[in-house]
């Protein structure tokens, strides 16, 4: 800052707005620094008067002179540092005797705050009319709905083909759409005629569709657009009307009504399908390398896990944002805290890898929740951190594992699909809903909410589909009326009770079907020897631990759209039913191939091909043939058809099959 010149300071009595950051050589404002003010502390210290005037020169006084001491201004003590943020709330009390199924939060006496009731009327200043926000430049530049649209391709950062080629294909696309649109104008029903597009609207539809194809499929743009032309040429009027209705519903924000899912036709009876499941059962060998628990932890393992947990003082890593925080499973005595570390800011979406385009710089990997690049600040805030336990030894400390016992009361020749929904508690990720359906009929067998062992930190609605209100207001499970009602789920008091209910319907030989079964079995702490996992039936090219999601498998093989609830979460019954249909789809594929090779299905076994001249007494069955021999029998006809061995996971991944 340059010193200002008094002769050229018309505003010399006004302090410069830039203060010490002023860079003008001759500023017209004042730059006279105010004199510091010092608060009196003791009479012997050098100080400046509070009014800003210089202190008078001190006069030496004699010893007998009486001097009145100067007033001392007390200095306010610095405020105490704020306590570290802790989480003391939970949607559910562990003491259910005080307020069963109704308590929404738990707070310690130290953290209780009085909240005044909201005023019934607003002050006058708050009710005056507010000016509308100014019109932004983007809104001014937005075209009107009826603005003319030229039949020209939109400009892109990088054209997939030349502009001339794009224009030719766009005109071809428009010419194939026009006959379909003209037929609507001649329809008898007025609701169909209402779908007719004006010439300008038809131009916009063609331009938008061509642009979308160019952006989504730059490397195969021309092939995809030609396929669209072929589809339009062979399209029936009914199919065009269906497309238009879906487009109108999407513009209005309406959710189109999903058609009822079609069942897979395997060509087998339900009993034969259950018999065929023996060909898809996953062997237990090697599953422990991929998260499955196949053996009960020993006492030494549990002692070691307990010692490690005590030494770590319950410090955990957040499953969402990887922050280190401390957990108190039974609350901290000092303040009733459940967790420390404050709020959790995180991304709930998965990573989306950008498509590689030759000749262009690679785009950053983004997140599906907010489309921001990986490493950006989280887009969701939660009041506490959460964690998950994957080690079987630590899981056993919370709830011991058990092996499926023999059950003479279980219905023979049956199979079940089951799915678990989990929420976060002070003991990690715990069971909060258990759904079991019969297979292949998909009849509900058991569907209950489960009260976890630890204090609830988050019901995890986005993925579990369970809301806090639904969980709090659930009625107790009634053993006299066990029929599940999906709209009014009952609640059991512990995961132990839920597991006992599940075990009452199965035995060791009952096939249990599911997707990523290791998660569900570990959540319920169960070791079951007869499992069929769709992750293993539909492997990826890379093999485990990479796997296909249930939603993608349903779309590829069943042409179904599931898990469309968004923030409302998943439906465990829908997931269990879809898993069962995927198993039936695999049975259809395998049976069609094996039947052509001479395999047959008996009363309780799948019989391999019988060579000519073999006596009936020497015909092998699945119950008498060892696993290795059965694998070799299955591999022989596969040599000419490249059929995968069932023990190694089934057929090729969908991406390869579609290619």
- Model confidence over 344-383: pLDDT tens digits? 999 988 888 877 777 777 888 888 888 888 889 998 999 9
Asked whether residue 515 carries a pLDDT value surpassing 90, the answer given is: yes
Range scoring the smallest mean pLDDT among 38-42, 301-305, 532-536: 38-42
d(CA 10, CA 8): 6
Range scoring the smallest mean pLDDT among 1-10, 193-202, 206-215: 1-10
Mean confidence (pLDDT) of the chain = 78
Q: Which residue has the higher pLDDT, 147 or 648?
A: 147
What separation in angstroms does the CA of 35 have from each of 15, 51, 205, 224, 440?
A: 14, 10, 72, 77, 88
**Confidence at residue 400, expressed as pLDDT on a 0 to 100 scale:** 96
Percentage of residues of the chain with pLDDT beyond 70? 73
Q: Which residue has the higher pLDDT, 390 or 140?
A: 390
| pLDDT-derived band at 89, boundaries 50, 70, 90 | confident
Span 82-99, average pLDDT:
58
Per-residue pLDDT tens digits for 328-337? 998 998 888 9
**Confidence at residue 524, expressed as pLDDT on a 0 to 100 scale:** 96
Q: Which residue has the higher pLDDT, 380 or 634?
A: 380
| pLDDT-derived band at 630, boundaries 50, 70, 90 | very low
| pLDDT-derived band at 117, boundaries 50, 70, 90 | very low
**Confidence at residue 78, expressed as pLDDT on a 0 to 100 scale:** 58
| pLDDT-derived band at 494, boundaries 50, 70, 90 | very high
| pLDDT-derived band at 114, boundaries 50, 70, 90 | very low
**Confidence at residue 50, expressed as pLDDT on a 0 to 100 scale:** 40
Buried b (16+ CB within 10 A) or exposed e, 65-100: eeeeeeeeeeeeeeeeeeeeebbbbbbbbeeeeeee
Asked whether residue 28 carries a pLDDT value surpassing 70, the answer given is: yes
The tokens 């899912």 sit on which residue? 261
Cβ(611)–Cβ(473) under 8 Å? no
Per-residue pLDDT tens digits for 153-177? 998 888 888 999 999 999 999 999 9
Exposed, middle or buried: residue 386 (CB in 10 Å: 0-12, 13-18, 19+)? Answer: buried
| pLDDT-derived band at 208, boundaries 50, 70, 90 | very high
pTM (2 d.p.) = 0.63
Segment holding 550, helix H or strand E: helix 550-553
**Confidence at residue 252, expressed as pLDDT on a 0 to 100 scale:** 75
Range scoring the smallest mean pLDDT among 5-19, 203-217, 315-329: 5-19
**Confidence at residue 295, expressed as pLDDT on a 0 to 100 scale:** 92
Nearest to 176 by CA among 205, 215, 152: 205
Span 610-637, average pLDDT:
52
**Confidence at residue 522, expressed as pLDDT on a 0 to 100 scale:** 95
Nearest to 161 by CA among 108, 107, 100, 226: 226
Per-residue pLDDT tens digits for 520-576? 999 999 999 999 999 999 999 988 888 999 999 999 999 888 887 767 777 899 999
Asked whether residue 427 carries a pLDDT value surpassing 50, the answer given is: yes
Asked whether residue 614 carries a pLDDT value surpassing 60, the answer given is: yes
**Confidence at residue 536, expressed as pLDDT on a 0 to 100 scale:** 92
Q: Which residue has the higher pLDDT, 419 or 12?
A: 419
**Confidence at residue 38, expressed as pLDDT on a 0 to 100 scale:** 46
What separation in angstroms does the CA of 551 have from each of 280, 416, 539?
A: 21, 20, 14
**Confidence at residue 368, expressed as pLDDT on a 0 to 100 scale:** 84
């Amino acid at each position: 800052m340059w010193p200002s010149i008094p002769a050229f300071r018309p505003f010399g009595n006004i302090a410069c707005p830039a203060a010490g950051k002023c860079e003008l050589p001759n500023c017209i404002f004042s730059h006279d620094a105010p004199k510091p003010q010092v608060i009196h502390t003791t009479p012997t210290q050098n100080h400046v008067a509070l009014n800003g005037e210089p202190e008078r020169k001190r006069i030496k006084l004699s010893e007998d002179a009486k001097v009145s001491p100067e007033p001392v201004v007390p200095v306010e003590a610095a405020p105490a540092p704020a306590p570290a943020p802790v989480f003391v709330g939970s949607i559910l009390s562990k003491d259910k005797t005080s307020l069963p199924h109704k308590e929404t939060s738990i707070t310690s006496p130290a953290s209780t705050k009085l909240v005044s009731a909201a005023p019934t009327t607003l002050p006058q200043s708050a009710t005056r009319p507010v000016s509308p926000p100014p019109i932004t430049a983007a809104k001014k530049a937005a075209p009107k709905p009826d603005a003319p649209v030229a039949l020209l391709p939109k400009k892109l950062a990088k054209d997939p083909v030349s502009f001339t080629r794009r224009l030719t294909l766009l005109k071809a696309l428009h010419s194939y759409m026009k006959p379909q649109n003209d037929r609507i104008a001649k329809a008898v029903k007025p609701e169909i005629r209402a779908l007719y597009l004006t010439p300008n609207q038809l131009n916009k539809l063609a331009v938008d569709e061509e642009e979308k194809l160019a952006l989504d499929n730059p490397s195969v743009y021309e092939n995809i657009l030609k396929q669209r032309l072929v589809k339009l040429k062979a399209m029936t009027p009914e199919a065009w009307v269906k497309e238009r209705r879906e487009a109108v519903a999407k513009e209005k924000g309406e959710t189109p009504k999903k058609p009822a899912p079609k069942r897979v036709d395997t060509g087998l009876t339900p009993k034969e399908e259950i018999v065929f499941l023996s060909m898809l059962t996953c062997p237990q060998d090697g599953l422990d390398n991929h998260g499955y628990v196949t053996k009960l932890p020993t006492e030494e393992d549990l002692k070691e896990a307990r010692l490690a947990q005590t030494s770590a003082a319950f410090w955990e890593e957040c499953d969402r944002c990887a922050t280190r925080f401390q957990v108190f499973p039974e609350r901290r005595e000092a303040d009733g805290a459940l967790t420390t570390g404050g709020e959790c800011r995180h991304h709930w979406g998965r990573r989306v890898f950008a498509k590689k385009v030759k000749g262009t710089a690679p785009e950053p990997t983004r997140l599906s929740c907010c489309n921001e690049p990986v490493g950006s600040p989280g887009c969701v805030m939660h009041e506490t951190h959460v964690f998950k336990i994957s080690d079987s030894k630590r899981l056993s400390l919370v709830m011991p594992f058990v092996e499926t016992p023999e059950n003479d009361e279980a219905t023979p020749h049956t199979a079940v699909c089951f799915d678990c929904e989990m929420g976060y508690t002070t003991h990690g990720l715990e069971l909060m809903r258990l759904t079991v359906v019969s297979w292949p009929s998909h009849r509900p067998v058991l569907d209950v909410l489960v009260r976890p062992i630890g204090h609830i930190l988050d019901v995890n609605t986005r993925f579990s589909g369970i809301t806090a209100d639904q969980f709090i207001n659930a009625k107790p499970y009634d053993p006299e009326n066990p029929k599940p009602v999906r709209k009014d789920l009952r609640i059991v008091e512990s995961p132990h009770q839920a597991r006992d209910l599940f075990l009452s319907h199965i035995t060791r030989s009952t096939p249990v079907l599911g997707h990523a079964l290791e998660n569900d079995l570990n959540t319920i702490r169960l070791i079951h020897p007869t499992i069929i996992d769709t992750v293993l039936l539909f492997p990826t090219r890379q093999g485990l631990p990479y796997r296909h999601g249930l939603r993608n498998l349903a779309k590829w093989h069943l042409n179904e759209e599931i898990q469309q609830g968004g923030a409302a979460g998943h439906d465990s019954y829908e997931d269990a039913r879809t898993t069962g249909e995927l198993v039936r789809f695999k049975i259809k594929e395998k049976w069609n191939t094996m039947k052509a090779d001479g395999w047959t299905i008996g009363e309780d076994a799948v019989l391999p091909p019988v060579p000519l001249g073999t006596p009936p007494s020497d015909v092998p069955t699945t119950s008498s043939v060892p696993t290795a021999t059965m694998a070799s029998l299955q591999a022989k006809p596969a040599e000419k058809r490249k059929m995968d061995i069932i023990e190694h996971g089934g057929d090729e991944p969908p991406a390869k099959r579609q290619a």
